[in-house]
Structure 1
């Protein structure tokens, strides 16, 4: 998978940290990585955005932003209010294609969910993924309510003929409740795709060296890691707190 599009079931659920973990695992394998943020919103010109945060955590990636809008709104709305040109799906596809020609892996991190509008024509991250022919990875919360939002996102992908690569839990809690533990089995069914990882709560606050050392233990081998979803789920069913792969951070 030269290009992976990373979306979420909503905002503030761990997309950037999950993207950083995938980048770190790929770098550890000796692969070259680029991270593309099509539209960064809610960040001033002198502040680091999501792509820069991925680089801080993961290491030497090529970090690219196509546009930045100061207000924390959907990209189309933020661009309109700022009086700036919006990002269009074709812009995203062209930028990702150029990066893929020079890197082993390109991670395209969306803003919010799959169908958040980039422009006033209704262009979305899903449209960009379609132009790229790239699989889409869903980052989802661990707890109650995640099954519906994950199923809706996966259904939207299937309706557009797009591949769902799988699901990564964006923040696995230190003390998972019953819903979170059950969702380890239920999320793959809701998505119709495998569970590919669980990022521990607080991972984004780790020192970069510790983040890079741990990233592989949070992701399955297909993403460059060593995480075993069946073994992890069995530990959670037994009532154990996460240990080894998926260690939560306080």
Structure 2
């Protein structure tokens, strides 16, 4: 069982989670989905990876941070309902590691409760060194085990190596920009990851 988090929103977490679930032969689970108007993360993973997708405990209509989406939607998120399901599962958080689940609980705190290894997805673009090292530090300060970095985007070898060296974490490889993004291109890229 592994958790997928990101250095920010829009870094490619869902595509990475789909690639990992397919490669590991695992189910996929997203504890909180915020935003239902477009294709949800669970729907994307089901379409791309063809793996079992477990239902989200919370499906919030408003597309923003889970704590705020829950408030707007009139829902109270109970952290006790967010216990990981049994079995081989890839779990995807929302946004980055320090996104609030509630006003009292960040995703990084939830990951610490679970004690599961976390894969950090980081884009390779400018600014990634800072965002990645901050994410590593935030998780380490809570005792969260880090499985490694999974980069997303065009190769920037020096930035990727610098993050892993300074952060003291392994690289799990890089998912290139997949255009078109199809089950076939995803599986081809997933087969090249260093897992």
Q: Settle same-fold status: TM greater than 0.5.
A: yes
1:36-115 equivalence runs, <5 A: 36-44=29-37, 47-88=38-79, 90-92=80-82, 94=83, 96=84, 99-100=85-86, 103=87, 105-115=88-98
**Where does 1:7-18 land on structure 2 (aligned, <5 Å)?**
7-18=5-16
Per-residue Cα deviation, 1:111-147 (whole angstroms, up to 9, x for no partner): 1111111112x21222222222101111001021111
- TM-score, normalised with respect to structure 2: 0.92
Contact 1:67 1:87 in 2 (8 A): no
In the alignment, structure 1 residue 5 sits paired with structure 2 residue 17 = no
Note closer, same or farther for the CA distance 1:149–1:11 as it changes in structure 2 (3 Å cut). same
Does the residue aligned with 2:186 lie in a helix, a strand or coil?
helix
Judging by fraction of residues, say which structure has more helix. Answer: 1
Q: How many residues align?
A: 195
**Which residue matches 1:245?**
none
Structure 1 unaligned runs (5+)? 28-32, 224-250
- Pairwise CA distance, 1:209: 3.2
- Structure showing greater radius of gyration is 1
Which 4+ residue blocks in structure 1 deviate beyond 6 angstroms? none
- Unaligned 5+ runs, structure 2: none
TM-score (norm 1): 0.73
Moved more, 70-79 or 124-133: 124-133
2:144 is paired with a residue whose SS is coil
Mapping of residues 164-183 of structure 1, within 5 Å: 164-170=146-152, 172-173=153-154, 176=155, 180-183=156-159
Whole-angstrom CA distance in 2 between matches of 1:169 and 1:161: 22
Q: Corresponding residue for 2:27?
A: 34
Alignment-derived partner of residue 134 in structure 2:
152
